A and B are shown apart, each in its own frame.
Chain A
Amino acid sequence: MAVDRRRFLQAAATVGAVGVGGSVLAACGSDSGSGSSGGASTSGGTSGGSGKALRTLTIATNAAAASWDPDTSEANPHIACWASMYDTLVDPSIPGGFDEAKATMTPDFEPAGMLASSWEVKQNGREWLFTVREGARSNHGNVLTAEDIVWSLQRPIGIGGLGNFFMSLAGIKDPEQIRAVDGRTVSIRLASAPPPYLLSLLALPWLAIYDATEVSRHTNSGDEWGTRWLARNFAGFGPYQLANTTPDGSLTTIERNTGWWGELPAGAAEQQIYQFLPEDSNRLQLLLSGEAQVAFLLTSLQLEEVEKSGRARIESLTTPATFFLGFNNSQKPFDDPEVRRAVLSVIPYDEIISSVYRGQAERWKTIGPPPWFEAATDKFWRYDSGAEAAREVLASVRDPVKLSYTAGSSTEEQVSIMARQALIDAGMKVDVEAVPAAAASEGRRMGRLQFFTDPWDSPAVPSSFYALRQLFTTDAIQPTLNYKNPEIDKIYERGVKASGAERTAALEDAQKVLVDDAPMVPVAWTGTRIGRSADLSGFRSVAGSIVWTRDIHTGS
C-alpha cells in the first residue's frame, strides 16, 4: 500500500506528540529529580559511626574500567577496582603509614599469603612450592585448586600480556615451569637464581588467579584463554565480585563475594561504586557534596579545598610515587654529564614543592630508589648549591632543548613552566611542548623524548633493586632515560646476590654513582594523596601508587 503524504504527516504528528509529551515529562522529572539525587547521596553516605558497615562506598576515579581482564588492561586507576575482585598468590598491599610501609622494605620481610597459604623454597631458590589455600571459593562457587593457579599463571605467557612481562622478570618464560604437584600444591621451577623481589612480582595484581573451571566454559579454539569473556565478566576468588557495569565502564558496581575465604575489616562496604569522572574538579565536587566518599587524583590546590571543607580529609599514602624530569642521556646536550649536573643545580626544588604541590610533597634527594625504599639515602646529594657554575655550562648549550609534558596535566604543566623559567634564567634555551597523554606515555617509555616531565608512579614492585633495574641498568625494564653505565650494572649484579651489609652497601654505591652522574632530575617525592570522607580508614597501596580499596572501612 502506498503511503501518501497526509498519512505520513499524521504518523509523524503522532510520533512528535509522544516526543513533546516526553519533553514535558522530562521537565516534570527535572523538578522532582533533585530529591532523588539527594537520596542517592544519603544512601551512599558515610554517616555510619565507627565500625558501622558502609552500604555503599562510592569512589570517583580518573579512569574507566574499560576491560575486566587484568592481563589485557594497563590503565592504572581502574586496577584499584579489579584488585578488589581478584586475589593473587600473596598479599601485594603496602600499608599507608610511613613507618609500616618502611617496615616492608627490610630484606627479610615476607608478604602474607593470599591464595597460597604457605610456600617452601627448594634448590637454592630454583624451585618454589606453593600450598593452595583451603576453602577458597570463587564467585561462581568453584573451590580453588592447584589447577586454577597453574592455568592462571600460564595464561599470561599464553596471551603475551603485561603479566607475561612480569613473569619473565621472575625468570618464568615457559608454561612448563609451572605445574601442579598434587591437588593442593603448585611448583614453579626457575632456570636461574630468583631475583630478591620474586614474591613481590608474583603478588602483582596483573598475575591474578582465575576460576579456571568457569573461564574454561567460555573458551573456544580461537580464544583458548577466555580473553573475550573475561573482558566483560569476572571469575575470581577475591572479596568483591562484579555486580554491574555500564557499557563504557564509566560506572561500575562491585559487591561482596559472600564465599570469600578471608574477612574484610568491620565497617567495610557492602558494595563499591567506581564512577569515572575525567574532570578533576567534578571528582572534587562529588566528594565535597557527599556523593562520593573517595576521590582520586585531585590537584594539590583541590586537596587544600578538601582539608578546608571540614567534610573530607586528605589521605596520604606512603607509595613510591615521585616526580622527576627525565633526560635522554644518549642525546645532545644531555649526553654530557656536566650539562645534566648543571640542570640539577638550577632547578628550584623548594619553590616547586611549595607552589605546585602546596607543600604536599617532599624533597627527593637521591637517584635510584624512592626515599622510603631499602637503603635510600640523601647523603650523596650535592645540588643545592653551585648554581653560578651551572649557569656557565647551561649558557654554553647552543641549541634549544625541548621539554615535553602531558597535555592537560596541571601539575606537569606548572613544573614545566617553573623548570623552563629557571633554565632560561640560567642561559639555556628551552621550548616547552604539550604532548597528548598516550604519546607522552609512549615517548617516555620508549625513551623518545629529549627532556620530559615524569610523574612516576613506579616501581610497581617495592624493591630498591627493582627500582634500579627499571631505569638505570643497561638492560633497563624501561629505556625511558636511555641511560647506560657499566658501573651500575656491576653494582646491581653484586648487590642482587648479596645479603645484609653487603647488599646495603651495593645500594648506597649505586646511589652515589647515580647522583654524581645525574641521569635525571629528582624533583619531589609525592606519595599518593587522595580525598576521602572524614570517617574512613584502611587505606593501603598496591603495585606502586595504586590505592588498595578493598580494606576501606568506616571507623579507625
Chain B
Amino acid sequence: MSILALVARRALLAIPMLFGIVTATFLVTRILPGDPVAHLAGSFATEETVQQLRAQYGFEKPLLEQYVDFLGNIVQGDLGTSVLTGAPVFDDLMRTLPSTLELITLTLIVACTLGITAGVTAAINRGRKSDSAIRGASFVLLAIPEFWFALVALFLLFFKLGIAPAPVGQIGLTDERPKEITNAVLLDSILTLNWTAFKAAAYHAMLPVLTFGLILSAPIARLMRSSMIETLEADFIRFGRSLGLPRKVLRRYATRAALPPVMTMAAMIFTTLVGSAVLVEIIFSWGGAAQYAARAVEYNDYNAVQGFVLIAGTISVVVFVLVDILYMVIDPRIRIDSPGGGFLARLRALPAGLRARLRPRVGGEELAPLSAPLAVAPPIEEVAPRRTPATVARAVVSIPAKLAGLIVSAWHGLRRPGLWNRSLVAGTSIILFFLIASFVIPAVWPDDPMKADPGVALQSPSARHPFGTDASGFDVFVRVFTAPQTDLKLAAFGVLIGAFIGIGLGIAAGFSRGWFGEIVMRITDVVQAFPMFILALVLVSLSGNNIKNVVFALAFVNIPIFLRLVRSRVLTVRELRFIEAAEALGNSRGRTIVRHVLPNAIGPAIVQFGLSLGYGILAVAGLAFLGVGVSVPTPEWGSMILTGRSNILTGQWWTVVFPGIALAIAVAGFNLLSEGIEQSRELSGSRRRPAAPPRPKATPGVQRSTEMQEATV
C-alpha cells in the first residue's frame, strides 16, 4: 500500500474521533452548571431580551434537537457569534489561531532541538559529568512553573538588562507589520518577504519562545536520553559496530531509531499547548487563540469557548494523524495498517513498550515483564470461601490482628534493604519537610499567615521578615511555608480521585474483552484531545470559584492518565498463567481482579501518583495564577505569585521569587519520590526474577515510563 493510501486510511479512522469530540463538546457545554443565556444577555438586559436570546440560541428546545442543530451548524462551519467581538467565532478563531500555532511550533522546535541534543549528548556520555549536568538541569526545569519562569525572565532580561523587547505581543507597537495573510506575524513576514517585519517579529518572539522552549526541553531531553541509551545497546547498532562503522554514523542511526517516543511526546506537548499556552500568551500579550479563549471564559462568551474547545480537539486529532505519518517516514518498520499501529495505539502501548524495551534481554528474547507475579496465586483453600455467620464472625475478630500484621509488614517493607535509594530519600525528605514546616512554622512564627499588617507592606527581606512582606503586609516567609497545606491538599485530593476512578476504569477496561473496554478507550481518546486547562477554567468559571471545583478539574485531567497506565498493565497481566489458574480454580471475576490483577497492575500507577502530585501542584498554581481556585488570605503558592506579579517589575521581586522557588522544590520533591519508587520497584522486581543477566546500572530517567514524563509536561 502506498503512503498516500495509508494516509487516506488513517485520516478516515480519525472521523469517528472527530465525531466524538463534537459530541463531547456539546455535552460538556450543556452539562456544566450556570445559565449561558444569562451570561450572553450581558448588562442591563431585560427579561424579554433574555427570552429572545434563549429562543435565538435554541436553548428552550429538547437536548436531542439542540444536538442535531449543533451538528448541522458545525457542518456549515457555523460556530455561532462571539458576544465579545460580535463576529463569527469561526472567523475569530481563524484569525487568532495561527499566531498561537506559530508560538507553539517555534516553542516546540526550540524544545525539540535543545531536548534532543541534550538527550543524545547525555546518552552518549552516560555516567560522565556532562550526563549528570544535563540530567540535573532537566530535573530542575521539570519542576519550574512556566509562568513564574517567564515573569522572572522578563524581570531580568527586559527590566534589568534591557536586552529583551517589551512584552507587547508578536511585534513592536510601531514596527512595520507585514501584510496580513495568516495573521501569524512571523509567517506573514516570510510569505510577504518583508524582512524588516521579520526581524522585528523574530525579536519579539525570542523571549516567549526561549523561556517556554527551555522548560519544555526538559521532558524531551529525559525521554530522548532513555530512548537513546536503549537504542545504543540494540542489536543493529552492535552489528554496525562490529562492521566497523564510524561512531558518527552509528550515532546518526541510533538517534533516528530513538526518535519515535520523542515524537509521541512532542505531539502530546503540541496538543496540550494549544490550551495551556494561555499563561505565556497573557504574560507576553501574544494575542493568540488561547488568550482569546481565556478572555472568552472571563467574559462568559459561551460560543467562543465552545468553538475553541472544538477546534483545539480537532487540532489534536489532526496532529495525531500527522504523527502517524511521520512514524512511517522515520521508521519503515511501522505501518499503520499493521495490528496495533496508529498514534493512539502507540500512545497506549508506550508504557508497556518502552518499559519492556528497557528491560534486560536473555538471548535476544525479552524477559516477560511479570513472569514472576508480585502476588502469588492463592492456595486452593482460599478460593471462593463460602460465607456463613461463623466465617463472617471469624473474619471480624481477625481484623485487628490483620491490621497489626499489615503495619508490621509495612514497617518491615520500609526497612527492606535497597528500598531507600537516594531519590526516594531526597523526595521523601523534601515532602516531609514541607509538610512538617507547614504546621510547625505557622505555629511558632510571630506573624500570622492569615493576618495582614498594612503598616509593613512591601518590606524587603530582613531578619524580621526573611522573605520580605507583600503588598498587604503579609509575611512572605510564613505564608510560603503555610502554603503546602493548601497546595498539597488540593493536589492530593484531585489526584486521588483521578487515580481512584482511573484505576477502576483501567482495570475494568483492560480486563473486559468486549465492547466495554473499547468504548472506555474511545471516550478516553476524546477526553485527552481536549484543552484541559481551558476546560478547567470553564468549569470553575461557570460553577463557582471554589477549591472543590479545582479538585474536580484536577481529577478530570488525571483519570485518563491512570486509566491508560493501568489498562496497559492489565492487558499484559490478564494473559498470564497465574490469572488463568486463579479463574480455573473458581475465583470470581471480582476476586481475581482484586486479589490478583490489581496488585500486579498497580505498581506503575503508584509511581505515576507521585508525578501526578507534582503536576497537580503546578496545575493548582497555574489556575491560581489565572485567579481561579484559592481566595485570599489563604496562603497558596500560585495565588502568591499572582498577587506579587504586579510588584516584580516595580522591584519587589521577593513577592514572586520565594513562592516560585518553594513551588519548584515541592514539585521536584514529588518527581524525586516517584523516581525513587520506580527504582525500588525495579530493584525488587529484578531480585525476584530468576537468573536474570546483569543489567546496566539503573539510572534515574531510564526507568520512567513515558506517561510519567508526559504527566510532568
Contacts and interface: CB of A to CB of B under 8 A. Distances in A.
Interface of A: 2-5, 8-9, 12, 19, 22-23, 25-30, 32-34, 36-37, 39-41, 43-44, 56, 58, 64, 66-67, 69, 72-75, 160, 162, 165, 227-228, 231-232, 246-251, 273, 275-282, 284-286, 289, 291-292, 299, 301-302, 305, 351, 354-356, 405, 407-408, 410, 413-414, 416-418, 420-421, 432-439, 441-442, 445-446, 477-478
B135 interface: no
Contact of A58 (B173, B204, B300, B541): B173
A445 B174 contact: no
Contact of B458 (A22, A301, A439, A478): A301
A9 B332 CA distance: 11
Given A247-B183, A414-B472, A417-B633, A25 B202 contact: yes
B391 interface: no
Contacts of A251: 169, 173, 287
Contact of A301 (B39, B631, B646): B646
Contacts of A250: 169, 285, 287
Contact of A286 (B2, B43, B166, B472): B166
Interface string B616-645: 000000000011101111000001001101
Given A2-B4, A418-B452, A29 B202 contact: yes
B541 A33 contact: no
B452 A279 contact: no
Contact of B3 (A5, A22, A299): A5
Given A281-B645, A436-B545, A305 B650 contact: yes
A273 B174 contact: yes
Contacts of A4: 2-3
Contacts of A477: 44
Given A26-B205, A250-B285, A286 B87 contact: no
Contacts of B86: 66-67, 69, 72-73, 227-228, 231
Contacts of B5: 2
B608 interface: no
B16 interface: no
B175 A67 contact: no
Nearest to A69: B86
Contacts of A276: 285, 287
A422 to B, nearest CB: 10
A416 B454 CA distance: 12
B167 to A, nearest CB: 5
Contacts of B329: 5, 8-9, 12
Given A351-B454, A420-B633, A37 B166 contact: yes
A414 B169 CA distance: 29
Given A2-B2, A301-B458, A249 B85 contact: yes
Contacts of B49: 160
Interface in B198-246: 198-206
Q: Max chain B CB contacts within 10 Å: which of A408, A432, A435?
A: A408
A417 B452 contact: yes
B95 A247 contact: yes
Interface in B79-124: 82, 84-87, 92, 95-96, 106, 109
A281 B172 CA distance: 17
Interface string B247-269: 00000000000000000000000
Given A2-B2, A286-B166, A420-B633, 14 more contacts: A2-B4, A44-B173, A44-B174, A72-B86, A162-B44, A248-B92, A248-B288, A275-B169, A275-B285, A282-B168, A407-B627, A418-B454, A434-B632, A436-B541
Q: Max chain B CB contacts within 10 Å: which of A28, A33, A421?
A: A33
Nearest to A277: B285
A425 to B, nearest CB: 9
Contacts of B205: 26
A162 B650 CA distance: 38
B203 A33 contact: yes
B606 interface: no
Nearest to A39: B174
Given A66-B85, A438-B298, A284 B649 contact: yes
Interface string B275-304: 000000011010110011001011110000
The 3 A-B residue pairs with the shortest CB-CB distance, nearest first, are: A33-B203, A247-B95, A407-B627
Contacts of B649: 281-282, 284-285
Contact of B285 (A69, A278, A414): A278
Interface of B: 2-5, 38-39, 42-44, 49, 52, 82, 84-87, 92, 95-96, 106, 109, 158-159, 163, 165-169, 172-175, 180, 183, 186, 190, 196, 198-206, 282-283, 285, 287-288, 291-292, 295, 297-300, 328-329, 332, 451-452, 454-455, 457-458, 471-473, 540-541, 545-546, 626-628, 630-633, 639, 642-643, 645-650
Contacts of A441: 43
B44 to A, nearest CB: 4
A442 B300 CA distance: 10
Contacts of A286: 166, 168, 173
B42 A74 contact: yes
B165 to A, nearest CB: 5
Contacts of B201: 29
10 contacts: A30-B202, A34-B203, A40-B175, A40-B200, A67-B84, A247-B183, A281-B645, A282-B167, A301-B650, A405-B632
Contacts of B196: 36
Contact of B190 (A2, A22, A302, A434): A22
Q: Max chain B CB contacts within 10 Å: which of A22, A23, A26?
A: A26
Contacts of B650: 281, 284, 301-302, 305
Nearest to B205: A26
A434 B43 contact: no
Contacts of B540: 436
Nearest to B171: A251
A435 B206 contact: no
Contacts of A405: 631-632
A26 B545 contact: no
B550 to A, nearest CB: 12
A311 to B, nearest CB: 14
A445 B646 contact: no
A112 to B, nearest CB: 28
A408 B282 CA distance: 13
A476 to B, nearest CB: 12
A251 B166 CA distance: 14
B202 A26 contact: yes
A30 B203 contact: yes
Given A36-B203, A302-B646, A277 B168 contact: yes
Q: Max chain A CB contacts within 10 Å: which of B38, B86, B639?
A: B86
A23 B190 CA distance: 12
Contacts of A64: 287, 295
B77 to A, nearest CB: 16
B545 A434 contact: yes
A475 to B, nearest CB: 13
A413 B474 CA distance: 13
B539 to A, nearest CB: 11
B99 to A, nearest CB: 8
Contact of A439 (B2, B165, B300): B300
B304 to A, nearest CB: 10
A304 to B, nearest CB: 8
A275 B173 contact: yes
Given A2-B4, A33-B199, A73-B86, A301 B471 contact: yes
Given A33-B204, A74-B43, A281 B545 contact: no
A291 B166 contact: yes
Contacts of B287: 64, 246, 248, 250-251, 276
A292 B630 contact: no
Nearest to B298: A437
Nearest to A43: B174
Contacts of A280: 646
Nearest to B105: A19
A278 B455 CA distance: 29
